[in-house]
Amino acid sequence: QVKKQCDQKLLIRMKTKCIPCPLNLDTQCPAGYTRITNGTGIPDCRYYLEIKTHTLSFPGCRHRCVKEFEQPECCQGHWGPDCMGK
């Protein structure tokens, strides 16, 4: 039995929106994603507040999220929708 289907595993990474660090404790990743950071997340961003005519910038936190995705692919030497080509 020759293996025709060689699916590729892809890891999709994303970060949540930058918000004040104390408020970031309960931030959830989008559906299907797993949070890989703990606590208040990573303090690597800035968020902005508009006050009348000024925009103020503050240091903030965000979480990293990952999602595993399997991309269907044919093994070498096979092709087509059912990977039958030889």
Residue 3 maps to a domain: no
Q: In this model, does residue 34 exceed pLDDT 90?
A: yes
Range of the domain at 32: 8-70
Residue 29 maps to a domain: yes
**Across 33-47, average pLDDT:** 97
* pLDDT reported for residue 23: 97
pTM, full prediction:
0.73
Residues in Cβ contact with 51 at an 8 Å cutoff, skipping those fewer than 6 apart: none
Residue 76 maps to a domain: no
Residue 77 maps to a domain: no
Residue 26 maps to a domain: yes
Residue 84 maps to a domain: no
33-37, 62-66, 76-80, range with the lowest pLDDT = 76-80
Q: How far apart are CA 72 and CA 38, in angstroms?
A: 32
Residue 2 maps to a domain: no
Count structural domains, the chain. Answer: 1
